[in-house]
Amino acid sequence: MQKRGKNKSKKRHNKLFSLIMVMGIFVLLTAGIYAVLIILNPGHSPEEIIVTIDNCDVTLQSAIDNNYLKGTATPTTCLLKSEFPKTYHLASEITVTIDSYTLTLQDVINQNYFKGTDIISSSTSLPSKGHSANNVEVTVNSIQKTLQDTLSELRCVLNTCIDLGYECGTWDDACGGTLNCSDCGPGSACSEGSCILTSECTPGQTEPTDCDSLDRRCRNYNDVTNTCDSSGYWTNPPCNSYVNTARGTNCFNDKSCDGAGNCEGYSGKGCGGCPFGTANPGSLTNQCILPPGYKGRWGESETNFLSWRTSGNILCSYRYCCRRNWLGMCRSRCTDYYAWQIKPN
């Protein structure tokens, strides 16, 4: 009985030992797999890789964290050689692949690839003992990736005028440089990315201005030349030059021009010499001789005239007014008639 109990105890110990061994192997395998997944071989830390940016040595992780690679910030504190990590690699010893071209990390930095301004178009000479970017693990936005996998994320994306919606002006290109969206043409200025008119014309420019809208039956206005001044604005000269139609020219039905730009020959009120023709030098004082081939009449108003006078071709002068009897003498006061007309017979 005692021997049988000892055998059972031994079997229990063997089972426990086997279980412990299996668990140990599982733990070791899991740890090994995890180590393979997160620890690169040979596994270079970005804190142990030195890059040179603007003649300043910094660690690769510092260049990533502070956007030195993209050019949106510039290193202010440079590492001395004595401050390099005990074990380090230079960026010129790290090889990367971009668009099927293989270069060192330092060459990529020098060619402004990360600043977004240049593209990689050729490979460069590689070190005899280079280390692949696939064996460098970096942290970007709190996520760990290989340097090779994160190259495109580290590259700055340049602004464009189309993206910004600007047609003029100089702007930040988002990568530490400037973006020029061209200039506005003459007479325009850039305001918040848009060209706005600041003047009407180009200095020295000329164009005719039509004054025909001011013409009337017995007066024609001359067109003028509009000139652009030195400030880019039209001078807009007035239409004040005109030519009156010749006296006696028919202007409407039986009406004629008076030579002063008026149709119908109304004189209105006032005193003056003969409206037409010449003063009669003979015995009939205060009378005017009609021009040859014309007839004339006086009126009580501008719409109420006496009959046309042709006999003797005599009109009282503008300064005096006749009574209804055209054969009588002219009076020295304007009492009855103050308007006149003439027209060709």
- Residue 211's pLDDT is what? 94
pLDDT tens, position by position, for the chain (345 residues)?
A: 444 445 555 555 556 656 666 566 655 555 444 444 444 445 678 999 999 999 999 999 999 999 999 888 999 999 999 999 999 999 999 999 998 899 999 999 999 889 887 888 899 888 887 789 898 989 988 888 899 998 888 888 889 999 999 999 999 988 888 999 989 987 788 999 999 888 888 889 999 999 998 998 889 999 999 999 988 889 999 999 999 988 778 776 666 787 888 776 544 333 345 555 555 555 445 566 666 667 776 665 556 666 776 655 555 554 444 443 333 445 444 444 556 666 666
In the chain, where the domains are located? 1-36, 46-154, 161-197, 206-244, 246-345
Max CA distance (Å), the chain: 186
In the three-class reduction of DSSP (H, G, I as helix; E, B as strand; rest coil), residue 289 is classed as strand
Residues 6+ apart with CB under 8 A from 341: 255, 256, 264, 265, 266, 296, 297, 299, 305
Alpha-carbon gap, residue 32 to 43, rounded angstroms: 15
- Residue 272's pLDDT is what? 44
Amino acid at 270: G
Alpha-carbon gap, residue 199 to 196, rounded angstroms: 9
Alpha-carbon gap, residue 228 to 205, rounded angstroms: 5
Quickly count: other Cβ atoms within 10 Å of residue 75's Cβ. 18
Per residue in 31-65, is it b (16+ CB within 10 Å) or e — as a string?
eeeeeeeeebeeebbbebbbbbbeeebbbbbbbbe
- Residue 152's pLDDT is what? 83
- Residue 233's pLDDT is what? 87
Asked if residues 224 and 209 have their Cβ atoms less than 8 Å apart, the reply is yes
Phi–psi pair at 137, nearest 5 degrees: -105, 125
Q: Which residues pair with 295 in a beta bridge?
A: 343
CA distances 280 to 118, 273, 283, 313, 333, Å, are 100, 11, 8, 11, 19
- Residue 115's pLDDT is what? 87
- Residue 140's pLDDT is what? 87
Residues 6+ apart with CB under 8 A from 127: 92, 93, 95, 104
